[in-house]
Amino acid sequence: MSIDEPDNFTIHNYQPRDEADILSLWQECELVVPWNNPLTDIARKTADSPHLFFIGRIGEQLVASCMAGYDGHRGWIYFLAVRKAHRRKGLAARLMRHVETKLIELGCPKLELMVRDSNTSVITFYRNIGFNPDPVMVLSKRLTEDDEHNFA
Ligand SMILES: CC(C)(COP(=O)(O)OP(=O)(O)OC[C@H]1O[C@@H](n2cnc3c(N)ncnc32)[C@H](O)[C@@H]1OP(=O)(O)O)[C@@H](O)C(=O)NCCC(=O)NCCS
C-alpha cells in the first residue's frame, strides 16, 4: 500500500441503491456517451452478471467502479473510473487487482480492454499495471439501439 493510499477503501458488488452514485461518477469521468444509455448499461449488466460489476467506496462514498465480463474465453473491462478527487492514490490499481482475482477464480486466462488511442493517461495507467498493446483492429456492429437519454 502506498503512503497516501486510503486504508478505508473497500470493494463491493454493485447494488441497485448505487445507481445514482454510479451515474454521477461516470458523468464526472466522462464515460457517458450519447449512444449508450447508462441506465440501460447498468440494467443489462445486473441482469447478466452482477457478480462482475464492482464499486469502490471510501467510507460510505462511492468513488470507483469497474464493470468486468467473462465470455468463457477472455475477460473484458469496462467503466473503470475513479472520482477526480481520489485519483493517483492507487485505487484503480487496487480495484483492478480485485477484478483480476475474481476473473482468475472463474478460470479466465486473459484480460482485454479497449481504450481510445488518444487517451494517453489511461494507456499509461494500464501499461503500469501490466497491460500491453496488441496489434489488432477492433471492429464493432451495433445490434440494437439504446433509448435516448439526457445524461451525457
Ligand atoms: C484511469 C483511472 C481509472 C486511474 O485511476 P487512479 O485511481 O488515479 O489510478 P492509480 O492511482 O491506481 O494509478 C496507478 C498508476 O497508473 C499511472 N497513472 C494513473 N493515472 C495516470 C495519469 N493521469 N497520467 C499518467 N499516469 C497515470 C501511474 O503510474 C500510477 O501510479 P503513480 O500514481 O504511483 O505514478 C482514472 O484516471 C479515471 O477514472 N479516468 C477517467 C475514466 C477513464 O477514462 N477510464 C478508463 C476507460 S477505458
Residue whose CB lies within 8 A of the most ligand 1 atoms, among 11, 67, 128, 131, for a mutation test: 128
Mean pLDDT, rounded, for 114-138:
96
Which pLDDT band, with edges at 50, 70 and 90, does 3 fall under?
low
Helix, strand, or coil (residue 83): coil
Residue 62 predicted with pLDDT over 70: yes
Which pLDDT band, with edges at 50, 70 and 90, does 5 fall under?
low
Distance CA 86, CA 138 (A): 31
Residue 4 predicted with pLDDT over 70: no
Classified by CATH at the fold level, domain 9-128 comes out as Aminopeptidase (3.40.630)
Ligand 1 in reach of 123 Cβ (< 6 A): no
Each residue's pLDDT tens digit, 76-103: 999 999 999 999 999 999 999 999 999 9
Average pLDDT, the chain: 95
**Which ligand 1 atom is at minimum distance from the Cα of 115?**
48
Residue 6 is predicted with a pLDDT of: 74
| Under 8 Å between Cβ of 22 and 33 | no
Tell me, in angstroms, the distance from the centre of ligand 1 to residue 128's CA: 9
Coarse DSSP helix, strand, coil percentages of the chain, rounded to the nearest 5 percent: 35, 20, 45
Spatial neighbors of 38 by CB under 8 A, at least 6 apart, are 22, 23, 26, 31, 32, 149, 151
Residue 7 predicted with pLDDT over 90: no
Distance CA 148, CA 40 (A): 10
Distance CA 4, CA 6 (A): 6
Domain boundaries, the chain: 9-128
